[in-house]
């Protein structure tokens, strides 16, 4: 089969990106549902808790990356 004939099946496009997006949505939904059930809060509150955790994780990663890059620059 020629990939030019079926561009939807090409790597990184079409159906592959849709499947990837659906997998992410399912994983996020499982996380939000788990937070909601464990803490006994509504799904909207659980969503904001989940987004807050992602934001905190992103900030910590950003801070650690900047600290490590500044140390690498000092070693040179």
pLDDT in tens, 17-60: 888 899 999 999 999 999 999 999 999 999 999 999 999 999 99
| pLDDT value of position 16 | 83
Let me know if 56 is exposed, middle or buried by CB neighbors in 10 A (0-12, 13-18, 19+).
Answer: exposed
> For residue 67, what pLDDT is reported?
87
pLDDT for res 3: 54
Q: Please tell me the distance from the alpha carbon of residue 28 to that of residue 18, in angstroms, as a whole number.
A: 15
pLDDT value at 4 more than 70: no
pLDDT of residue 15: 84
């Amino acid at each position: 089969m020629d990939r030019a004939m079926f561009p939807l099946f090409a790597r990184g496009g079409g159906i592959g990106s849709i499947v990837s997006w659906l997998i992410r949505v399912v994983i996020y939904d499982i996380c939000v549902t788990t937070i909601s059930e464990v803490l006994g809060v509504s799904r909207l509150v659980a969503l904001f808790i989940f987004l807050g955790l992602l934001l905190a994780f992103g900030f910590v990663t950003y801070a650690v990356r900047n600290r490590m890059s500044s140390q690498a620059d000092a070693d040179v």
